[in-house]
Structure 1
Amino acid sequence: MSIIVNDNLQQFHLTNGTVSMVLKVVDGKLVNLYTGAAVPDSDFSYLIDDHFRVQSATPSDEHEGRFAEHQRFEYPEFGHGDYRHPAIEVAQSNGSRLTDLKFTGYAVHDGKSPLPGMPSTFAAVNADGRTINDASDAATTLTIDLTDELTGLSVRLFYTIFRDEPVIARSAHIRNNGNQPLTLTRAASFNLDLPDANWDMIEFTGAWAREREPHRQPLHQGIQQIESLRGASGPYFSPAAVFARPETNEDAGEAFGLTFVYSGNFDLHAEVDTYQSTRLQLGINPFGFAWHLEPGESFQTPEALLGFSANGLNALSQTFHRIVLDHLQRPTWARRERPVLINNWEATYFDFTEDKLLELARLAQQAGIELFVLDDGWFGARTSDNAGLGDWVANPDRLPQGIAGIASKINDLGMKFGLWFEPEMVNKNSDLYRAHPDWAIATPGHIQSVYRHQYVLNFANRDVVDNIYDQMHAILANANVAYIKWDMNRFITEAFDATRGAEHQGELMHRYILGVYALYERLFASFPDLIIEGCASGGSRFDYGILAYSPQIWTSDDTDAVERMSIQYGTSFFFPVATMGAHVSITPNHQTGRSEPLSTRANVAMFGTFGYEMDLTSTSQEDLAEIADQVAFFKSHAELLHNGDLYRLVAPFDHRRMAWMSVSADRAHAIVGDYVILGVPNKPKSRLYLRGLDTDARYHVTSTDGKFDAVRSGGELMHVGIDDTDLGPDFASRIYLVDRA
């Protein structure tokens, strides 16, 4: 059993042999006594903090009671002596924000229930490829009920532990059972109080075209925070972080990983007090958030995931990769190979005709590419970025027979057809805006900020979602569209919901993202086999919320192979290779102006979902032949690349080298990517040390450039390494194939 309940002790022990979390009711409050590597069950009462401290408040005599600010609360409140940031805050009709949530009950059940209206992990997938929730032993769920007697506020905390993964899913359901309205101003999904501060925080930061670079620094007294206020998770701070012991590296040491199954505003922070204890919190960003609850109404927080590793960062990442592929993504495409694609954007931008597209598709098909994706510019009055968004009807000047016509012609070539949408946006120069200007988010009396000539539609308004769904459904129902690229190029400004009153304005950002999820759900209900690739100016909404619907996300608009090494390397801490949209693009690259060999561009993109974004009509016959070879090579190794265990071998951030590898579950096969970023004159010897192999097994190792061919033991490959000193010059790369001899 993965949840051990001791009713006499009022103690709950979640464990699966790898991780343990121990909760206990102390003086009516729920506290966390231990979270970390799995331990045998015991009476953990000795971990309750009873130490006297000066200036600390207590609900009873100061020499007898327990001090609130030193307890490890599971869902803390502010105002009873705990001066750290609370997990919940509720404004009441008399102006008070004080609550006192006490334990009132619990339940344990097999499986895991979905969250209404939001993405969340599931317990397992059955033989028919359907998700199983309640009737599954692949996960077990504990619910704990807390109640504030004065206001009638109740909180149900959800804890799901997975049988085979050291991961615990957390969320909270909050209900107003009183007789007065309440306003929820803070509602974290996750809180964890740790007894020490001897941790490094690894956060993933960047901006457009340089997303998710890991930055590591020790925790210090005070607050270290990453957040978004943009209406999307954003490229600047990813809604995920690692907390690792200072000595932890890729291959050894303890680490927690914390991530959010959510795509909107978030707040993730670590608060260290002057007694060196640490509070970790993750949830909807409380800035500007206010959810009105009439009596009987409730609010469900999004889901947060806590992962643990005692064996370094690679093991932690592999755990999260399996959670994504086996417990989060729609089973239809989670571990199924998607078609190799070509996207026309960098080949044509807005300047295309149907004949040009078909010529590009013919060359792609000859190279073995399986899916042609028509990007921006096919609809309405769209010949540049200043018109057409919101009018999802094919432009007859460009596509005389509409989407059905070009899709049929692409299909006749033996390829699938894909289509770009930006459903959340509108141009003022569009029929939709002229008919419904009130559907664009704007605050009365204020300027309406603009970016890229576009505005954000109010997806908190069901009429808006209905309209966009109807337009998209009309296209998809009448044309053979196998794939959608769903873009989102603008964040929310002047946030105001014209359909709701003043007391509901703090709800817009969350209601907006619920509208996005609702559109995804409706599309899949009608078109269950559809592939939707998430995109938000590239990787501006690369999160577990989108991954629950999209098997892949466009990792970055930066298609430069050298830049992609850093971007995909950082992304891999929480996201599997199979989810990273990665394309071979033109050279000189359109974002950096850098020129790299075609082989290196492919060798980087293969450690992602594979495709091309270049004008094959102006490509040499020699390069077209090489592209055909690349496509064939990728197809023959896609299963290993996408479903193997990824090991990060050499980080790219010194601007010299980078390497990673994927190993099959049975350790019989591996594929290794080895890259030079900048060459070094008169360089010293270089050795590449592999990981994840069987020490005593013999492996045949070959390189795709024909320069390495040897049989070595797994122990040699991991501890003696491969001499790759000859790999060079700038931007050179090599792929090694490793097969048990």
Structure 2
Amino acid sequence: MIGRRSIALRRSSLLLTALFMCADLLPTGGLPAQRVEPDRGRVDFTLRTKPRPRMRAVSGGLVYEEHLYKGGLRTRYWSPTGLIKPDAFLERDVAQVAAGDELPLLDEPIACSFGLSVDGQELWDHWSWKSSQELPCEAEHDSQSGREDHRRCRHMAVDLVNEIRPIRVRVHTQVDGNPFLKRWLEITNNGQSAAAIGALYPMSGFLFAGRRLKENLPSEGAGIFSVLRTANFDPWREGDFRWVTLPDGSYSYGNSKWGMPYSVVRNAVTGESFAIYFGWTGRYSFEFFNNHNPASDDASLYFRAGLAGPGPFRVLGPGETATSPPVFIGHFLDDLDGIVLASHKFLRESVLPALPKGRVRPVEMNSWGFVAFELSEDSLRSAIDTAADVGVELFTIDAGWYGDVKSNWWQMAGDWKTGSRLPDGLEPIFDYARSKGLMCGLWIDIERIGTASELRKKHPDWIVRVHGASEGQTALDFTNPEVVKFAEETLAGLIERYKLDVFRLDYNTDIGLSGAQNRREGFVENSYWRHYDAIYAMYRQLRKRFPNLMMENCAGGGGRNDLGMLQNFHWAQVSDEWGGVRTLKALNGFSLALPPEYGLSYVGFMNDENYRYGDVDFRFRGQMFGHLCLGGVAPNAAEFPAAHRDKVRHNVNLYKTFIRPVLPTVKVYHHTPVLPNTEPGEWCVLEHVTPDQSRGYAGVFRLAGAREESYLFRPRGLDVSATYKVTFDNTGKSVQMRGEELGRSGLLIRLGEVLRSELVLFERQ
């Protein structure tokens, strides 16, 4: 009888959920649904000790509860709607599971709230709940920048002690009113000898279930669970996200450097989704287990996110504590647009650094372009003239400014001083740039050590060791305190000497999937964890030391664009691919995961391939949906045809006057969210709208696979009750239209040839 009542109640719950979903998502009269800003609501923690210890976190609409069950910390339930489930029902579910009347709980390590292996022992049970305490929230990374105090933040720590190994784990959970929680661990060795951490998953466990699949799945054979994930780990193909149906059983993916550690996981039965970010720069793994039982017509999904590669990842001495990288996880009952909007809001407010007070994101020119390997004072002055002529605000000198004329920049990394290539140094070049009204930036690949550098000859012990040897390796070992001191003081010296406005980091090296190793306490420790702990701390300290400095992240293009690195950088390069089509697709994918203003994308010349795809407007417009950077738009001011120059000036000015002022707060709507970089594609359509709906802009790009020459664009973010001035940038012509008409009838954009575009501007009247 209890089982039938439980089923009936669940049916009612599913029906109500479906009705709410329909009310939220179905348009009225053909109009896009008007989104209401979610109330940040309560920020709360609740702790209980009976019938078993448990903790519940509430953050806006997100509710997460976990409990100590069978000696392991396990997820009790999630809710994306603010629903707090009654204890009586939850305990009855546990009893029914024990009696075999319901879908059984997965009795595997992935079902626990975190994963940890020490000395070869999987520590997924035999935990005791010792204490809990509320702690101050982690300080804002950019507290010195003057960002407004937006957070109603709370931070709870639960201490667990293991009965098998002398290990204490402090489980940290932080919420701030956004529908996300941040989870990380502190692991302490309470024993008298070394403890080797062989596996670490800072967060794992149950996500959601799908029941009565034949009744609820939209079509026969449809997947229950799917994941939006990075599909391509190659450089120059960044931002290639695709949906993958999760098979029954285990599924995993991961990488290091390339491929953003981010995913969206969807439940086709309930319409729920999770957005998961892992704030980690080394090799990572996202793992899923689809516990599908065809006989019972039910399924449940579990996940874990953690470090990957050969362990041990950390060898803790007696009394030593290590802090894990964080996982950020949000729970939603919304479509992909809604997930992206909420994620961008959370990242802007709570994770990514704001610009230093008084700064704006400058339109940048990078020296590479036409200068490239022919770097000299004359070539740089010429590039500065071109930059000033078209309205650029920041000039950054890229690779090769150090060393002598015959040296190769990649071989001399580590010797960060000018040589015969620039005999008078950088000062006269930066002075010239400033005389033209430009800010100044400098490229430094500080984590690399070149094979022909003096630094390598002087300090061979500073190089990472892989399989016991450093031959062929080009990365500095940041587990060595001397390396950290050298790198930080070198950067500080260059910033102070040249009065830099921007420090541009690059990372043209790689420790690889296996990681480097160091001997420690009788073990061979994978050094990734200690290595990146030191690197994060160094860049954090650099920002504190130079509060007005803007910091740009690059890693051979779009590598290392994870929240571990980006918590200390103001923007990041999306890709080293400068061609119009691939960069457009890469930025489209980048802005699924991260706010668009943090994505630097290039317009310019790196090789002749770049100019084969799209006209000037096509190439510019794509990159204007992020942080705009030019690189080699003309050989020099004298060889800059007027037709080309006028187009460049127009686009730079349009970006500075219309787009940039609102870009840091825009809501992003992806009309074509999935654009594989290995296929031609048909259309790319992006829409940005201000939170108050007073201004917006949309880019419509016809790709090589489009057979139709017209696209019907229906804005999603405008106010249906307002009137807008609608300007078409191709002609400069404007019309006035109601938001209701735009959403219902749309705009038919005709582009008569492939690789052409239109930029549409919206201004409320």
TM over 0.5: yes
The aligned counterpart of 2:241 is 214
How far 1:179 sits from its partner (Å)?
3.6
The aligned counterpart of 1:196 is 209
CA contact (8 A) 1:532 1:551 kept: yes
Give the root-mean-square deviation of aligned CA atoms.
3.0
The aligned counterpart of 1:672 is 698
| 2:390 is the alignment partner of 1:367 | yes
CA contact (8 A) 1:288 1:506 kept: yes
Which stretch of structure 1 is more off in the superposition, 420-429 or 96-105? 96-105
Structure 1 residues 359 and 73, CA gap change in structure 2 (3 angstroms)? closer
The aligned counterpart of 1:418 is 441
Instruction: Give the distance between the partners of 2:727 and 2:480, measured in 1 at CA.
Output: 57
Counterpart code for 1:509: Y
How far 1:737 sits from its partner (Å)?
0.8
Counterpart code for 2:725: H
The aligned counterpart of 2:262 is 240
How far 1:665 sits from its partner (Å)?
0.8
Which stretch of structure 1 is more off in the superposition, 187-196 or 407-416? 187-196
Instruction: Give the distance between the partners of 1:528 and 1:566, measured in 2 at CA.
Output: 34
Report the secondary structure of 2:510's partner residue: coil
The aligned counterpart of 1:88 is 116
CA contact (8 A) 2:117 2:199 kept: yes
CA contact (8 A) 2:584 2:623 kept: no
How far 1:571 sits from its partner (Å)?
1.1
CA contact (8 A) 2:702 2:751 kept: yes
Find the partner of 1:643 among 640, 662, 665: 665
Report the secondary structure of 1:238's partner residue: coil
How far 1:300 sits from its partner (Å)?
0.9
The aligned counterpart of 1:558 is 577
How far 1:131 sits from its partner (Å)?
8.5
Report the secondary structure of 2:262's partner residue: strand
CA contact (8 A) 2:468 2:517 kept: no
Q: Deviations over 1:115-144 (max 9, x none)?
A: xxxxxx76x969x71687xxx861222222
Which runs of 5 or more residues in structure 1 are unaligned? 77-85, 115-120
The aligned counterpart of 1:661 is 687
Counterpart code for 1:377: G
Instruction: Give the distance between the partners of 1:492 and 1:613, measured in 2 at CA.
Output: 29
Larger RCO, structures 1/2 (Cα 8 Å, 6+ apart): 2
Counterpart code for 1:212: G
| 2:741 is the alignment partner of 1:716 | yes
Counterpart code for 2:763: D
Structure 1 residues 712 and 254, CA gap change in structure 2 (3 angstroms)? farther
Residues 382-461 of structure 1 aligned to structure 2 (within 5 Å): 383-385=407-409, 387-395=411-419, 397-443=420-466, 448-449=471-472, 455-461=474-480
The aligned counterpart of 1:38 is 81
Structure 1 residues 423 and 30, CA gap change in structure 2 (3 angstroms)? same
Structure 1 residues 372 and 247, CA gap change in structure 2 (3 angstroms)? farther
Instruction: Give the distance between the partners of 2:736 and 2:311, measured in 1 at CA.
Output: 61
CA contact (8 A) 2:557 2:575 kept: yes
Which stretch of structure 1 is more off in the superposition, 694-703 or 370-379? 694-703
Counterpart code for 1:147: V
CA contact (8 A) 1:608 1:642 kept: no
TM-score between both structures, scaled by the size of structure 2? 0.84
Instruction: Give the distance between the partners of 2:706 and 2:243, measured in 1 at CA.
Output: 27
Instruction: Give the distance between the partners of 2:555 and 2:427, measured in 1 at CA.
Output: 26
How far 1:712 sits from its partner (Å)?
2.2
Report the secondary structure of 2:353's partner residue: coil
How far 1:345 sits from its partner (Å)?
0.8
Counterpart code for 1:600: F
Instruction: Give the distance between the partners of 1:326 and 1:666, measured in 2 at CA.
Output: 17
Structure 1 residues 337 and 287, CA gap change in structure 2 (3 angstroms)? same
The aligned counterpart of 1:624 is 645
Instruction: Give the distance between the partners of 2:756 and 2:649, measured in 1 at CA.
Output: 20
Instruction: Give the distance between the partners of 1:562 and 1:444, measured in 2 at CA.
Output: 40
Instruction: Give the distance between the partners of 2:123 and 2:151, measured in 1 at CA.
Output: 40
Find the partner of 1:354 among 349, 352, 377: 377
How far 1:343 sits from its partner (Å)?
0.7
Residues 275-674 of structure 1 aligned to structure 2 (within 5 Å): 275=293, 276-285=299-308, 287-333=310-356, 337-381=360-404, 383-385=407-409, 387-395=411-419, 397-443=420-466, 448-449=471-472, 455-493=474-512, 495-497=515-517, 500-501=519-520, 503=522, 505-586=524-605, 590-591=608-609, 594-616=612-634, 617=636, 618-637=639-658, 638-651=660-673, 652-653=675-676, 655-674=681-700
Counterpart code for 1:393: K
Identity %: 21
Structure 1 residues 32 and 336, CA gap change in structure 2 (3 angstroms)? farther
CA contact (8 A) 1:30 1:103 kept: no
Structure 1 residues 167 and 643, CA gap change in structure 2 (3 angstroms)? same
CA contact (8 A) 1:391 1:430 kept: yes
Instruction: Give the distance between the partners of 2:346 and 2:412, measured in 1 at CA.
Output: 39
The aligned counterpart of 2:727 is 702
Structure 1 residues 317 and 734, CA gap change in structure 2 (3 angstroms)? same
CA contact (8 A) 1:488 1:535 kept: yes
Q: Deviations over 1:631-690 (max 9, x none)?
A: 111111202233211111134456121111111111111111111113756x37531111
The aligned counterpart of 1:177 is 190
Report the secondary structure of 1:273's partner residue: strand
Instruction: Give the distance between the partners of 2:316 and 2:647, measured in 1 at CA.
Output: 61
Structure 1 residues 661 and 503, CA gap change in structure 2 (3 angstroms)? farther
Report the secondary structure of 1:427's partner residue: coil
Structure 1 residues 90 and 339, CA gap change in structure 2 (3 angstroms)? same
| 2:107 is the alignment partner of 1:107 | no
Count of aligned positions: 692
Report the secondary structure of 1:505's partner residue: strand
TM-score between both structures, scaled by the size of structure 1? 0.87
Report the secondary structure of 1:22's partner residue: strand
| 2:170 is the alignment partner of 1:145 | no
Structure 1 residues 428 and 147, CA gap change in structure 2 (3 angstroms)? same
Structure 1 residues 468 and 39, CA gap change in structure 2 (3 angstroms)? closer
Counterpart code for 1:594: R
The aligned counterpart of 1:270 is 288
Which runs of 5 or more residues in structure 2 are unaligned? 1-41, 211-223, 294-298
Report the secondary structure of 2:254's partner residue: strand
Counterpart code for 1:89: S
CA contact (8 A) 1:125 1:131 kept: no
Instruction: Give the distance between the partners of 1:539 and 1:213, measured in 2 at CA.
Output: 12
Instruction: Give the distance between the partners of 2:470 and 2:497, measured in 1 at CA.
Output: 40
How far 1:612 sits from its partner (Å)?
0.6
Q: Deviations over 1:122-176 (max 9, x none)?
A: 6x969x71687xxx8612222222111343321111111221x111111111112
The aligned counterpart of 2:21 is none
Structure 1 residues 90 and 363, CA gap change in structure 2 (3 angstroms)? same
Counterpart code for 1:644: V
How far 1:67 sits from its partner (Å)?
7.7
Which stretch of structure 1 is more off in the superposition, 466-475 or 97-106? 97-106
Which stretch of structure 1 is more off in the superposition, 577-586 or 138-147? 138-147
CA contact (8 A) 2:681 2:706 kept: no
Counterpart code for 1:629: H
Counterpart code for 1:106: S
CA contact (8 A) 2:291 2:300 kept: yes
Structure 1 residues 343 and 513, CA gap change in structure 2 (3 angstroms)? same
Instruction: Give the distance between the partners of 1:381 and 1:36, measured in 2 at CA.
Output: 61
Instruction: Give the distance between the partners of 1:693 and 1:728, measured in 2 at CA.
Output: 27
Structure 1 residues 707 and 491, CA gap change in structure 2 (3 angstroms)? same
CA contact (8 A) 1:176 1:296 kept: yes
